[in-house]
Amino acid sequence: MKTKVLVTGANGQLAQTIKVLYSANKENVQFVFVNKNELDITNYKEVSNFFSINNYDYCINCAAYTNVEQAEEFIELVFKINAEAVKNLALLCKKHRTVLIHISTDYVFDGKEETPYLETDLTNPINQYGKSKLKGEQCISNSLKEHFIIRTSWLYSNYGKNFVKTIANKIKENSELKITIAETGTPTSCIDLSSFLYYLITTKSNKYGIYHFSNEGITTWYGFAVEIAKHFNSFDLKKIVPVEGFITKARRPKYSVMSKDKILLNFKLSPNNWKDALSRVLETF
């Protein structure tokens, strides 16, 4: 019997990556992808009816409000999608004995530490996006034992809108770039994160809880941009100018590197270095 997996947020970059990598797999996993028009997860009754008709072993929640700047203005909407909708999923996953895999963020931390954050470290989000994502985590923890909360950071892929695509396009236009050095973290390839999620499903792991998953290594947004530019031989790296920061509506953690020790301990997995993961994605650009 095939393992049935519901993936929400089908139009997002992570769901699209999962679809490309694993939809045609020959193993016993069947993915069903839904976007917000096909399933409004903020509507409890609609989600309840959907789960009653369809039986799923897993639900990967890729749906989220991710515009950090706009989140400072549209607070009610942000919490509706990132918290209330997550509670709906958690309650119905519990009712239907579905394992929930939820994607969260490094922005649940305030960035005041100087060493990689552990899953057990105190959360203290400093913007509305981070606060809404933390609330979503709490909704899951309070409702459902059978869950994985995966905190990730600086996510990118070939799909959707993300830093790598934006910088690559600017480089192709031969533009001068001003990139901040005020934030330190770790880029994460959707390919590598998708691989980890697939591992959790195919191994039927019951080591539930919160996990940090990013690629390995540390950089700034400026360092990230320079590494992207290195893959375009004709571009002059001097056109990328480091700046201290920009005036923004949302505060951002200055340091959001996360420890992956728990993944290594529980699953004997070690994520790829961020530069190697980036190279794999940029090969297709």
**So what's the pLDDT on residue 77?**
98
Task: Please report, for residues 184, 215, 279, the alpha-carbon distance to residue 230 in angstroms, rounded to integers and kept in the order given.
Answer: 20, 19, 10
Residue type for position 93: C
Residue with tokens 């809108």: 161
Indicate yes or no: pTM above 0.85: yes
Q: Note down pLDDT in tens along the chain; length 285 residues.
A: 899 999 999 999 999 999 999 988 667 899 999 999 999 999 999 999 999 999 999 999 999 999 999 999 999 999 999 999 999 999 999 999 999 999 999 999 999 999 999 999 999 999 999 999 999 999 999 999 999 999 999 999 999 999 999 999 999 999 999 999 999 999 999 999 999 999 999 999 999 999 999 999 999 999 999 999 999 988 999 999 999 988 999 999 999 999 999 999 999 999 999 999 999 999 988
Q: Where are the domains positioned within the chain? A: 3-161+190-216+256-272
Residues belonging to the active site: 129
Burial 208-228 (b: 16+ CB within 10 A, else e): bebbbbbbbbebbbbbbbbbb
CA distances from 40 to 50, 139, 142, 217, 221 (A): 10, 18, 22, 37, 34
Domain 3-161+190-216+256-272 fold is: Rossmann fold (3.40.50)
